[in-house]
Amino acid sequence: MTADAGTSARNKLVIGLLLVSTFVVILNETILGVALPHLMISLDIPASSAQWLSTVFMLTMAVVIPITGFLLQRFNTRPIFIAAMTFFSVGTLIAALAPGFEVLLIARVVQACGTAIMLPLLMTTVMTLVPATSRGRTMGNISIVISVAPAIGPTISGVILSALDWRWMFLLVLPIAVAALVLGAVRVKNVTTPEPTKFDVLSVILSAFGFGGLVYGLSNLGTATPGQIVMIGWMPIGVGVVALVLFVLRQLSLQKRDDALLDLRTFTSPTFTFSIVMLTVSMMAFFGTIIILPIFMQTVLGIGPLETGLLLLPGGLIMGLLSPIVGRFYDKHGPTALLVTGAVITSVVLSLMTLMNQHTTFWWILAAHVSLSIGLALLFTPLFTASLGSLKPHLYSHGSAVVGTIQQVAGAAGTALLVTVMSAQKTQLVAQGQSQIAATAGGIHSAFLYAAVISVLAIPAAFFVRRPADSPDGPAPMAH
């Protein structure tokens, strides 16, 4: 075997292990959604407490991901992988054995610390190892991880809970996580070169309050009572915005001497900036829909949790099947055709979903969800590939951290917006004398109307995302 062939085989093994490991850890972000009613009974906790098992996971991710830019520059691939999978495996074990709610909550924090590191590690490694001519195909595989894992989480949860205790959601994942950890510890090689980087404590504190405050406040907006909404909704958002402004100013100062925790020079690339705008809109639609559709199916149409999960499964699988195909198309033709088509499909489908009511058929929902999944599949792979590909190599880790952070904040924002709109409209319709079912249907109509309007913003942005300069068909306009 030649040295090049050996290096190629090593790189494929590293990327393969990272893909499998990242799929397993991201799956846990949404796996508890369907299980919350079961946990409320088993652990004797109210809905407000149970919701924290999902919220704290997203919150921890939002706090840890911005730090990964520093970690990936400062440390080698192998120790970072081992640390991430150890956090996740230990958290999963604690969750499986948890005697009560408090311990399960701690377990979710530990799990999320590992999950937060894995996605930027995977993206940075791919950008470092894979040549520009075939990045689309590899990013297509990453899109499977990012889109399909959250989409099938509720389905897997529903299947497990139909036959087994809630602890099996963690017990079944644990051996896979431990196997990935052991295999990675033995086979993953260091494929990046660490650089001495200063650790700015103030940046970490501002980042935690900024991104954490935003995600916490946004997550509470949709579920808070009128008396709570200022204290646990708008106030954390206000603190988050102020901390985020101070964080940005701090990074702009530090990056002059290359000491930024999160280097914002990534945004000097127009392609990266427009990609982030589109990614924000797409993630808001994606996560908002994952939350709203099950509420509609179970509350308005009376479909059970298992049937709900199974109905959403085809869309998740189609998104996964399309991602590598979209990646190959990107490698040949670039992002524009994919992004414009995907943005239009997403916007049209969300507009049609405003027509759903208590008489909507099972097949109509299935067709709408599959169509939406096709639209999003056309968006994710080109956005990941073009955004990171437009950066200089020393900014890959920071770009990956920005993409991961945006995913969490946009997901929380999309969920909060759609749930808040749905709840407000439902309350108004109930006050007007409509039944709970009709009022919920009316609320969901309004939620999808907002989602459709926001999704339109992605269409003009799609024309500004260009093929990166190091791609085979020539450079794109780009500023550095």
Calpha distance 109→210 (Å, rounded): 18
The CA-to-CA distance between both ends of the chain, in Å, stands at 40
Contacts of 83 (CB under 8 A, 6+ apart): 114, 117
Beta strands in 73-229 (DSSP E): none
Calpha distance 125→127 (Å, rounded): 6
Question: Can you say whether the dihedral through the CA atoms of 134, 151, 68, 218 is positive or negative?
Answer: positive
Calpha distance 456→333 (Å, rounded): 24
Helix (H/G/I), strand (E/B), else coil: 426: helix
Cα 353 to chain centroid, rounded: 22
Contacts of 103 (CB under 8 A, 6+ apart): 94
Tokens representing residue 375 in the block: 């639209």
- Its pTM stands at 0.79
Calpha distance 329→246 (Å, rounded): 41
Three-point CA angle 269, 403, 124, nearest 5°: 85
Cα 35 to chain centroid, rounded: 20
pLDDT, one tens digit for every residue, the chain (480 residues): 344 555 577 778 888 888 888 888 888 777 776 677 778 888 888 766 777 787 788 788 888 888 888 888 888 888 999 999 999 999 999 999 999 899 999 999 999 999 888 888 888 888 888 887 778 888 888 877 777 777 777 778 878 887 888 899 899 889 989 998 998 888 777 766 777 777 888 988 998 888 888 878 877 776 667 777 778 778 988 999 999 999 999 989 988 887 888 888 899 999 999 999 999 988 888 777 777 887 788 788 888 767 877 888 888 888 888 888 998 899 888 899 999 999 999 999 999 998 888 888 888 989 999 999 999 889 988 988 888 888 888 888 888 888 888 887 887 778 777 877 888 888 888 888 888 888 888 888 888 998 899 899 899 999 999 887 654 444 433 333
Nearest to 324 by CA among 156, 165, 143: 143
Three-point CA angle 416, 420, 424, nearest 5°: 180
Buried b (16+ CB within 10 A) or exposed e, 206-215: bbbbbbbbbb
H or E element at residue 127: helix 101-129
pLDDT at position 154 is: 74
Cβ atoms of 71 and 195 closer than 8 Å: no
Please identify which residue in the block is written with the tokens 């990242």. Answer: 22
| Phi and psi, residue 261, nearest 5° | -65, -40
Helix (H/G/I), strand (E/B), else coil: 46: coil
Cβ atoms of 269 and 478 closer than 8 Å: yes
Question: Can you say whether the dihedral through the CA atoms of 456, 458, 464, 467 is positive or negative?
Answer: negative
Cβ atoms of 140 and 204 closer than 8 Å: no
pLDDT at position 33 is: 67
| Phi and psi, residue 277, nearest 5° | -60, -50
Angle between helices 436-455 and 396-431 (to 10 degrees): 140
Tokens representing residue 290 in the block: 């994952």
Q: How far is CA 142 from CA 14, 17, 60, in A?
A: 13, 12, 22
Tokens representing residue 154 in the block: 């509720």
Cβ atoms of 136 and 87 closer than 8 Å: no
Calpha distance 104→98 (Å, rounded): 5
C-alpha atoms less than 13 angstroms from C-alpha of 56 in its C-beta half-sphere: 18
pLDDT at position 84 is: 92
Label residue 356 left, alpha or beta by phi (over 0 means left) and psi (-120 to 50 means alpha): beta
Tokens representing residue 286 in the block: 């994606």
Tokens representing residue 172 in the block: 């079944």
Calpha distance 204→65 (Å, rounded): 11
Tokens representing residue 10 in the block: 């090593």
According to DSSP H, which parts of 165-269 are helical? 168-171, 174-187, 201-221, 235-254
Helix (H/G/I), strand (E/B), else coil: 30: coil
Angle between helices 336-352 and 305-333 (to 10 degrees): 150
Contacts of 109 (CB under 8 A, 6+ apart): 56, 57, 60, 91
| Phi and psi, residue 317, nearest 5° | -70, -40
